[in-house]
Amino acid sequence: MSLRTIDSLGELAGRRVIVRCDLNVPIKDGAVTDDGRIRASLPTLNALLHRGARVIVVSHLGRPEGAPDARYSLKPVAQRLSELLGAPVAFAGDTVGDSAAETVAGLEDGGIAVLENLRFNPGETSKDAAERQAFADRLAGLGDVLVSDGFGVVHRKQASVYELATTVPSAAGSLIATETDVLERLTEKPERPYTVVLGGSKVSDKLGVIAHLLPRVDRLLIGGGMLFTFLKAQGHAVGASLLEEDQLETVRGYLAEAEERGVDIVLPTDVVVAERFAADAPHVVLAADALESGPAGASGIGLDIGPETAARFADAVASSTTVFWNGPMGVFEFPAFAGGTRAVAEALTKVSGLGVVGGGDSAAAVRALGFDDDDFGHVSTGGGASLEFLEGKKLPGLEVLGWA
């Protein structure tokens, strides 16, 4: 499969190039706290700047519900981008209004600007295609061509992702090209042994991925909050831990299918159980089949995989040639319950083939725990988009760029 490349857009010197990035990064007290997605956008932006394009960066941030909200301004992002580029970055105080028009008009060849949050305009995420198109038309008036490079939003049919790409000549940036290449390697003839590690809070978020990957993987490791639905499906008590009762039959079906296919589904043998959901909560390590035997009894909450399980998971990951990991193993934000996530991350750095951190909370976790993106084969910028790709779904933001 292939995507239209930037080269298909022809000569770009002096032309206004809209770049749809995904700069939806965490901000605290007016400063970016994790610039991973900004750094991931740099190769495409630098390539365009070096070609003399007039670069207009557009992105969303958070969910401001179609109206300006200072909490979701992209101004801190523009400031951080300027620091990373080592060059001035102009900032427009609106998306398609007077400030945007004036800012774009003031760009010189090799100059760059960031427009305000796309989602300050309701047309960006509207369910009405006509509204989205109307907003895309206004965006199109600011540029000559579009380079789509926000992989984290390609699974959304939104104005800047889909309609804009049909309104002006469009192509994929290097980030989207890299992401699709890596994900194809995970789904089409991956090198074996192939291990997938799934965590996070809910089984329901991963159902499609499990179904699509079961015929393709050798091992499936289950951690995070979703592990308790698997344990319950096997008949174990799980105390007050997160549980999706309505998914028990589905999980039993996956366990049976895995056995038929010879896929090894590896579940925790021990769990860190706390008295309450808090960073300083008293906690114990209990066997996975005895989670109500601790001091908290049936009110205990599992917040991480146990050390025995972490070691087994780490061995399975490090001995694999291809690994995809999505979802932390526990509440990594609390140091006492970050051990499982740290063990998987450390093992992933030792994979001899392709080790992929599947975006979202997984990417946030490895950075919060002190790992660098370069420690891994690939750190995806799109959690939801990565999962939908691996589910075999068609992604509108890729299809509109020629992906079939």
119 is in an annotated binding site: yes
Give, to the nearest 10 degrees, the angle between helix 75-85 and helix 36-50.
60
DSSP count for the chain of H helices, then E strands = 14, 17
207 is in an annotated binding site: no
22 is in an annotated binding site: yes
350 is in an annotated binding site: no
User: What is the DSSP code string of 46-105?
Assistant: HHHHHTT-EEEEE---S--TTS--GGG-SHHHHHHHHHHHTS--EE-SSSSSHHHHHHHH
Q: Is 52 an active-site residue?
A: no
Q: Is 223 an active-site residue?
A: no
The structure tokens listed for 366 are 């490895």
63 is in an annotated binding site: yes
Give which of 386, 341, 359 is closest to 223, Cα–Cα: 341
Which residue among the candidates 52, 110, 384, 402 is catalytic per the annotation? 384
Dist CA 87 CA 340 (whole Å): 40
Residue 319, SS3 per DSSP: coil
Which residue among the candidates 123, 150, 225, 360 is catalytic per the annotation? 360
Which residue among the candidates 138, 202, 252, 276 is catalytic per the annotation? 202
Q: How many CB atoms lie within 10 A of CB 378?
A: 20
The one-letter amino acid at 218: D
Pairing outcome for strands 264-266 and 219-222: parallel
359 is in an annotated binding site: yes
Beta-strand (E) ranges in 288-372? Answer: 301-305, 322-326, 354-357
The structure tokens listed for 184 are 């194809």
23 is in an annotated binding site: yes
37 is in an annotated binding site: yes
Q: Is 202 an active-site residue?
A: yes
Q: Is 360 an active-site residue?
A: yes
DSSP H/E element including 41: helix 36-50
361 is in an annotated binding site: yes
- Exposure string of 102-115, with b = 16+ CB inside 10 Å and e = fewer, is ebbeebeebbbbbb
User: What is the DSSP code string of 355-400?
Assistant: EEE-SHHHHHHHHHTT--GGGSSEE-S-HHHHHHHHTT---HHHHT
Which residue among the candidates 4, 15, 20, 37 is catalytic per the annotation? 37
60 is in an annotated binding site: yes
Q: At 190, give phi and psi (nearest 5°).
A: -65, 150
Question: How far lies 215's CA from each of 254, 262, 386, in Å?
Answer: 11, 9, 18
360 is in an annotated binding site: yes
Dist CA 68 CA 331 (whole Å): 33
Q: Residues within the annotated binding site for (2R)-3-phosphoglycerate?
A: 37, 119, 156
Which residues are annotated as catalytic? 37, 202, 360, 384
Annotated binding site for substrate: which residue ranges? 22-24, 37, 60-63, 119, 156
Binding residues: 22-24, 37, 60-63, 119, 156, 206, 302, 333, 359-362
Binding residues for ATP: 206, 302, 333, 359-362
